[in-house]
Structure formats: C-alpha cells, structure tokens
C-alpha cells in the first residue's frame, strides 16, 4: 500500500475544506443550531419520544448526525466533481495510487469534515443544553461508520456527476429526503404503521437510531440491527465505488 500517497491526498482534501472554514464548518453549524432553537422550543411539550428524555436532548443527536452526514457527502462529492471539471483530476490519476487508496483518502477526508462539524454541535449541546451520554463507544462507532457511508455516497455522486446540476439532483432528491425521513426530528413509533414500515427501508434511519442509542441507551430498533445494516450498507457502497474506480467510469477518458 502506498501509505505516503494516501496520506498526501488525504491532507490535500482536508486542507481544501479547512481553507474555507467559515463556509464548510461554521455555516452548517449555525444552520443546525437554528434547527435546534426552533424545533427544540416549538415541539418541547409534544415531541417527547423516549421516557425521561427531554425533546431538546432527543433532538440534538439527530441534528448532529444530520450535519455530519450532509457535510461528509458535500466534501467528497464536491471535491471530486471540481477536480473533474477543472481538469486537475488528471494529476491525481497520474499518481501511483490504486483505486482502493484513492477511495480511502477521499472518504477519510469526508469523515474528518463530518466529525468536525458534528463535534462542534455536540459541544454546544453539552455546554449549553446539558446533553449527557451513556456510551461513548456506540457514539464514536456510529459517527465513524455513518460519516464513512455518506462520504462514500458523496464519492459515488462525484464519479457519476458530469456537472453541478447532477450533483444537486443527487443531493436534493436522495440525500436530503433520506436524511429528513431518518428520525432526526422524531421517533418512528409516532408515525402511522405504513410510514414506520417505510422508515425501516431507509438505511439512514439505522445510522441515526444507533447513534442516538449511545446517548440514552434507548432506540427504536435493536442497536445490533442498526450496526449490521450500517456496516452492510458501507460495504455495498464501497464495493460499487471501487468497481467504478477500477473501471475508470467517468474519470478516465
């Protein structure tokens, strides 16, 4: 494995989003905190989902995951598409990096951005709202797995997209709906039976539910099920990405 090559590409990707920190970190944090401010107060009385858990505390882990996923997706997808459109992807492809190493560097950088944004929101929830947690292990595990899954989806979107319109369509019609319907703002047990069934088909739901379990040791489905679904989805998306990268689909002409 070309460790130095992977590290160099990883550092390049991290520096890319770090150089515009206001846009890539501060802006999504402010947007997410506005969600917390509005929904946390408006639904404070009627939104209780778990016994003994205030709605604001229930909401914060979901908002952390929403911000984490959206930013992990944005990092890998926008970076690859920009490289394709500006022509500098050629220089990356000329480097002695295998498809696996290329994939690893891009997804790892997406994970870092997702964790940075999610970590800032977590700190606000802890310091301002008194958010507590029961199992740091489950929180960290699902944060890493979920950021990797969405970073891999972002890379897939970047591979398939030819222009920003394609990327926007992927995000607006796939990522955003699946995120908002994943239980970020509610427990699925409050939904009609048909919608509960539909929620179980959404892989994002298992990421949010497993992550929330680490805070309250309560969840809508067994945490082992959430772990299995999230891990399986990561393997599937990774396999698709590696196949496309090996074939050079839309990145080698």
**What is the token pair recorded at 9?**
């590409």
A 10 A CB-CB count for 84 gives 18
Is 207 inside a domain boundary?
no
Is 86 inside a domain boundary?
yes
With tokens 């805070």, the residue in question is 215
Is the pTM higher than 0.85? The answer reads yes
Parent domain of 146: 3-191+230-247
Is 199 inside a domain boundary?
no
Is 212 inside a domain boundary?
no
Q: Work out the burial of residue 21: count CB atoms within 10 Å of its CB; fewer than 13 is exposed, 13-18 middle, 19 or more buried.
A: exposed
Sign for the CA dihedral angle at 78, 80, 86, 91 comes to: positive
Taking the C-alpha atoms of residue 185 and residue 55, their distance in angstroms, rounded to an integer, is 9
The number of distinct structural domains making up the chain is 1
Query: Mind listing the pLDDT tens digit of every residue in the chain (253 residues)?
Result: 889 999 999 999 999 999 998 889 999 999 998 888 887 666 665 555 677 788 888 999 999 999 999 999 999 999 999 998 888 888 888 889 999 999 999 999 999 999 999 999 999 999 988 999 999 999 999 999 999 999 999 999 999 998 899 999 999 999 999 998 898 988 888 888 888 898 899 999 999 999 999 999 999 999 999 999 999 999 999 999 999 999 999 887 6
How far lies 11's CA from each of 71, 112, 156, in Å? Answer: 17, 11, 20
What is the predicted pLDDT for the residue at 149? 97
What is the predicted pLDDT for the residue at 201? 94
What is the predicted pLDDT for the residue at 154? 96
Nearest to 14 by CA among 82, 75, 97: 75
Is 202 inside a domain boundary?
no
Q: Is residue 187 within 8 Å of 47, Cβ to Cβ? A: no
Is 211 inside a domain boundary?
no
Q: Is residue 19 within 8 Å of 75, Cβ to Cβ? A: no
What is the predicted pLDDT for the residue at 253? 61
What is the predicted pLDDT for the residue at 46? 52
Is 104 inside a domain boundary?
yes
Nearest to 214 by CA among 62, 111, 81, 89: 62
Is 115 inside a domain boundary?
yes
Nearest to 104 by CA among 228, 7, 227, 236: 7
Nearest to 13 by CA among 155, 157, 159: 155
How far lies 153's CA from each of 22, 113, 194, 201, in Å? Answer: 24, 15, 27, 17
């Amino acid at each position: 494995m070309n460790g130095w090559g992977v590290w160099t590409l990883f550092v390049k990707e991290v520096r890319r989003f770090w150089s515009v920190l206001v846009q890539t970190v501060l802006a999504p944090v402010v947007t997410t905190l506005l969600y917390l401010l509005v929904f946390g107060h408006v639904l404070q009385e009627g939104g209780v989902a778990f016994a003994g858990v205030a709605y604001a505390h229930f909401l914060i882990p979901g908002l952390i995951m929403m911000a984490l996923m959206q930013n992990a997706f944005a990092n890998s997808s926008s970076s690859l598409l920009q490289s394709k459109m500006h022509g500098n992807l050629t220089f990356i492809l000329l480097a002695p990096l295998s498809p696996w190493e290329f994939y690893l560097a891009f997804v790892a950088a997406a994970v870092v951005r997702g964790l940075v944004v999610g970590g800032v929101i977590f700190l606000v929830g802890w310091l301002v709202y008194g958010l507590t947690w029961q199992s740091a292990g489950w929180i960290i595990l699902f944060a890493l797995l979920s950021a990797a899954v969405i970073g891999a989806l972002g890379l897939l979107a970047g591979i398939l997209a030819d222009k920003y319109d394609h990327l926007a369509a992927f995000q607006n019609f796939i990522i955003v709906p699946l995120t908002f319907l994943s239980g970020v703002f509610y427990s699925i047990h409050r939904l009609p039976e048909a919608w509960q069934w539909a929620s179980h088909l959404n892989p994002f739901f298992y990421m949010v539910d497993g992550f929330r379990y680490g805070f309250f040791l309560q969840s809508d489905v067994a945490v082992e099920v959430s772990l299995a679904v999230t891990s399986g989805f990561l393997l599937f998306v990774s396999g698709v990405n590696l196949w496309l990268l090996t074939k050079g689909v839309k990145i080698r002409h």
